[in-house]
Homo-oligomer: A and B are copies of this chain.
């Protein structure tokens, strides 16, 4: 921590030094031309209380030197994390596409989509059973029935499935059916939920919140990992900005930033990221070459009839085209769309 003093008064500086030492740090004084700075030396990651020194009128600012995450950080692990889900590998040399409808709406719908996305090369089936909706009057999902249908469609096509869990008490039910537990953007800092999925032995697909910083996203991964679950897949899905031409602003530079800071796989969701089917394929392609480990894409047989998110869903034919367009890019990046877990295992 660096503590910038608002004063040159020796007594005040001594008081801060004393406080710093009481909290278990060594204090290091730097007398600048215009400011005196107290550097608090020690492991600052657990000593959040230093920040409260900013309440002293003679302290101008307190700022940290270190990132706060440990388990999620590159320093904890140099190699990229590779997660195996059924026979699918995520991270490392793999490029993984999760596709399916926003919501599971019926047996026919989910089976139809599952076959289509499987044939086009997707490896994992997505579909919402519990839906977070801004309005309580909107369709809230088929709930457990939706989970069953999703699992059934996944088994019929040989694909693991990913679906959202919204509350801690839903976690066991969802885990019974799903291969990967998704935490939605609105729940990125739902810490009770993060702790709950951290205790379950299934990979977690953690979406960045609309107003979540990259640092906060990694801290949320840290919550899951600190409970003993190391298999976290991060997902950038657009942040909220002033721009209204797109539903959200897809922060694609989060990919290289996260690759630098963390060993966890990072996915891109171009459907939510842009909010319009027209923009999904260009952003999917951009995601591949930026270094992302995979995509989550919404596909619906008849988007104009979708119960939710129709505007951003690809029709099957558009999804097939998208897969054809990303394939050479995946190869060019030295990755594989078809590699399975066995292939990447040592």
What residues make up the interface of A, taking CB atoms closer than 8 Å to B?
A: 2, 4, 19, 28, 30-35, 37, 39, 41-43, 45-46, 48-49, 51-56, 62-63, 65-66, 68, 70, 132-139, 166-170, 186-187, 189-193, 209-211, 213-216, 219, 222-223, 226, 239-246, 249-257, 260-261, 273-274, 276-279, 282-283, 285-291, 303-313, 328-329, 332
Q: Which of B28, B63, B286 contacts A289 (CB 8 A)?
A: B286
Nearest 3 interchain pairs by C-beta: A52-B310, A211-B211, A167-B192
CA distance A191 to B70 in the complex (A): 30
**A331 CA / B48 CA spacing, docked (Å):** 41
CB distance from A254 to the nearest CB of B (A): 8
Please state if A285 and B289 are interface contacts (CB–CB under 8 Å): yes
* Known contacts A39-B30, A48-B139, A189-B186; A134/B308 CB under 8 A: no
Q: Contacting A282 at CB < 8 Å: which of B166, B289, B328? A: B289
Contacts A256-B278, A290-B283, A306-B55 given: A136-B226 contact, CB under 8 Å?
yes
**Additional 4 contacts, C-beta under 8 A, given A34-B43, A45-B137, A243-B254:** A32-B41, A49-B307, A170-B192, A249-B249
Q: Which B residues touch A311, using CB under 8 A? A: 51-52, 54-55, 62
Q: Which residues in B have their C-beta under 8 angstroms from that of A283?
A: 252-253, 256, 290
Q: Is the CB of A43 within 8 A of B48?
A: no
Q: Which residues from chain B contact A214 at a C-beta distance below 8 Å?
A: 243, 245
Q: Are A166 and B137 neighbours in the complex by a CB distance under 8 Å?
A: no
Given contacts A35-B66, A242-B241, A285-B290, contact A41 B30 (CB under 8 A): yes
- The residues of B that contact A210 with a CB separation of less than 8 Å are 211
Q: Are B279 and A256 in contact (CB under 8 A)?
A: yes
Please give the distance in Å from A328's CB to the nearest CB on chain B: 6
A243 near B134 with CB under 8 A, answer no
The residue from B2, B190, B329 contacting A2, defined by CB atoms under 8 A apart? B2
A40 to B325, CA, bound (A): 37
| Interface pair A65/B37, CB less than 8 Å apart | yes
Q: Closest CB of chain B to A269's CB: distance in Å?
A: 12
A231: shortest Cβ distance to chain B, in Å? 17
A-B contact pairs, 19 of them (CB 8 A): A2-B65, A4-B65, A34-B66, A37-B39, A37-B65, A52-B303, A53-B310, A55-B306, A55-B310, A68-B134, A70-B137, A136-B223, A137-B226, A213-B245, A215-B245, A245-B254, A256-B279, A288-B289, A332-B332
Contact check, A253 vs B249: say whether CB atoms are below 8 A apart.
yes
A43 to B254, CA, bound (A): 34
A3 to chain B, nearest CB (A): 11
Q: Within the assembled complex, what's the spacing in Å between the Cα atoms of A328 and B331? A: 12
Q: Which of A52, A245, A307, A328 has the most CB of B within 10 A?
A: A52
Question: How far, in whole Å, are A305 and B192 apart by their CA atoms in the complex?
Answer: 26
CB of A15 to closest CB in B, whole Å: 9
The distance in angstroms between the C-alpha atoms of A212 and B328, with both chains bound, is: 35
- By a CB distance below 8 angstroms, the chain B residues around A328 are 332
